């Protein structure tokens, strides 16, 4: 581990997975710093999908449902796309 997300200098990239950070809207706001304009932010969720609501600079793209292979556990994935500099 390199440290806490809010304490590290961000290196923007094309895809960010915001997992186990905080409430969905807060997770997206933290992930925006790490996501390049046009890049994707993903939030994995349990059977009920994470719903971050509106976050400046991020457009919701999809909320997907799937089953984990072999176990059949139902999971979700929220996807947003970075629109502009926040």
pLDDT in tens, 11-52: 999 999 987 668 999 999 989 999 999 999 999 999 988 999
| 5, 27 contact by CB (below 8 A) | no
Distance (Å, whole) CA 3 – CA 17: 16
| 12, 36 contact by CB (below 8 A) | yes
The pLDDT score that the predictor gives to residue 86 is 53
Cβ of 18: how many Cβ atoms within 10 Å? 25
């Amino acid at each position: 581990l390199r440290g806490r997300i809010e304490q590290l200098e961000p290196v923007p990239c094309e895809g960010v997975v915001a997992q186990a950070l905080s409430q969905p809207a807060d997770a997206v706001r933290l992930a925006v710093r790490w996501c390049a304009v046009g890049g994707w932010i993903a939030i994995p969720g349990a059977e009920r999908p994470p719903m971050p609501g509106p976050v400046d600079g991020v457009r919701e793209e999809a909320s997907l449902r799937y089953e984990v292979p072999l176990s059949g556990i139902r999971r979700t994935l929220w996807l947003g796309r970075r629109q502009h500099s926040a």
